[in-house]
Amino acid sequence: MSRTRIKICGLTREVDVLAAVEAGADALGFVFYPKSPRYVTPGRAAQLAALLPPFVTAVGLFVNEMPEKVAEIVDTVHLSLLQFHGDETPALCHAAAVASGRPFIRAFRVKPETTAEDLIKCNGVYRNASPLFRGLLLDVWSEAYGGAGKVFDWSIVSKETARQAVLSGGLNVQNAAGAVRLVHPFAVDVSSGVEASKGIKDAGKIRAFIEAVRQGDASRVGL
């Protein structure tokens, strides 16, 4: 059984980057959507990403950005992975990934009527559209782009989907272990669930969240 990978998203401060790394995060996310309270400029993100040690991944979150702009930001920040959260088509995601020379994940905002088959179909569409596609990030539906701080019905995530999926949406210290135990995702992604305020992380919450994920992993042994 492999351990669940952990991404902390929406980093804006050096102290939070260092706290996440020390706590054992596998990836850190930087938001390049100007309307987000967690937005950072490429220059600022480059300063923060420079603090990352080997094997901790820098991920860039984009919303409806043109491929040329994505590539420009990748060159500035030296991102390892792209995350698309807008209305990007499979073709546009592929174009941005090719222009940047980076793989990508695609956010799927789960609605109340979404089914397990919908997730499998979407995963297949993006996989057929680009060899640079690495998986879906599953978040709850909201009118705005980005997380809504709420959970969706995890039971619709099939084993086939979970194998390469990133589970997001309303995760926190209280529900992380249960989410990992039920869904068995490849990775989890958290932002507001480890914050003191929007864009300001809480080191204690980060540590507790990662510990909860590890507890979820441990409870899966023997299942």
Tell me, yes or no, if 153 is annotated catalytic.
no
The active-site residue out of 26, 139, 153, 189 is 139
Residue 6 dihedral angles phi and psi, to the nearest 5°: -130, 125
Planar angle of CA 27, 178, 12, nearest 5 degrees? 30
Rounded distance, CA 223 to CA 207, Å? 26
Identify which of 87, 83, 40, 41 has the alpha carbon closest to the alpha carbon of residue 62.
Answer: 83
User: Does the annotation count 9 as an active-site position?
Assistant: yes
How would you classify the pairing of strands 200-201 and 195-197? antiparallel
Q: ∠ at Cα 141 (145, 188), nearest 5°?
A: 85
Closest by CA position to 124, among listed 161, 166, 167: 161
Which position among 9, 16, 26, 189 bears the catalytic label?
9
User: What tokens does 186 get?
Assistant: 């490849």
Q: Which residues pair with 201 in a beta bridge?
A: 195
- List active site positions: 9, 139
